[in-house]
Structure 1
Amino acid sequence: MAAYKRVLLKLSGEALMGDDAFGINRKTIERMVSEIKEISDMGVEIAIVIGGGNIFRGMTGGAAGMDRATADYMGMMATIMNALALQDAMKQAGMDARVQSALRIDQVVEPYIRPRALRQLEEGKIVIFAAGTGNPFFTTDTAAALRGVEIGAEVVLKATKVDGVYTADPKKDPTATRYSTVSFDEAISKDLKVMDATAFALCRDQNMPIRVFSIVKEGALKRIIEGSDEGTLVQCKPI
């Protein structure tokens, strides 16, 4: 039985690279889609916000010295490319996925319209939110927090390559331990950097819990939906 009815899954663009230096690794995206399909088949309504770092990483040399707003708009378009790739992989897996973009590209994707997104979720479709918030200077973490609140998600699932939030960087400190749960206030006081400050403040103010987990760890997403102690839960009051 699913512990959540509606979730917002935040996927980093880097998670789509697999072992590649940049771009999209097809096997990686197909594996992610199969795990998302598992929880969709359990009746969970799923919205996804996806980053664009994997695409933009291949352009970093050309972006050096560029105006920040221009670079951010380029990053938003990279998220649209990722969203289309994810939608295509989902359709090939027999899933009904829709892309809604905060930037208007009507020939390619639907514009973001909240009532439409809610209707599509209720119909069992996967809704992929692209182009962040549509504004420069805001990250896709902030977009995930914002869209999560707007659609009434029960939790923001932040998929990373690390299986939770640690007391220190586990790659540098072998004694680092994983938090099972942590409060927003403790995460701030210890500078745990769960999300960027704007996204984190929005989740805290709206009492939106965040679950940080590893998308690389097979079956982790399903275990979270089933209520297992996977990753790190960040919430207003620790359990």
Structure 2
Amino acid sequence: MFGRSAALQPAERTLPGRAEELFDLPAAHRVLGTPLLADPAAGTAPEGFEVAYFGLGCFWGAEEIFWQIPGVYATAVGYQGGTTPHPTYDEVCTGLTNHTEAVRVVFDPSKVSYADLVKRFFEIHDPTQGMRQGNDVGTQYRSALYVATAEQEATARELTRIYGEEIARRGYGEITTEIREVPTFYPAEPAHQQYLDRVPNGYRCHANTGIPFPETA
């Protein structure tokens, strides 16, 4: 659970990875019963649903919070933002893949908006900590909003500004959340998917500012 590097590595120093995954994923979400990697574009999620990606520290506890939100259709955990194709968890933990732990969220925008999810994202972790969350130190724990559309990017940047102003007023430093176009999402091993449903007393890292998103936003 504890990353070894607190700095992104030059591409030439990262691990080579592989051409395909080493494992087969379960077809269905363990809790919601929906397709694990549901995709409205592929017809495995209802038309009009959207996909969002969040990095906010250890993905076990983060995924658990997202799958409990009404309107969320499916979640999956994986690795994003690095250079190593199809990495393993052990490889990500070396800090030599440049990936962060991420949660993929498929949602019904008529029940929960992307803005609602981003607001919850900011409330459940500390977006000012750089390459760490609480005691979890390393590049795999960095905060990230990977945006799939121009609308998502505009929303992510505006809400980052608003929350940044709010927490600065309360004495926190600048938000370090990485915001960029969605990089390839590499699903994590089956044992990590919905981990806290199979291990209810498992590790949860909920380092956060304790500051709710401003109600006027």
TM-score by length of 1: 0.28
Question: Highest relative contact order (Cα 8 Å, sep 6+), 1 or 2?
Answer: 2
TM-score by length of 2: 0.30
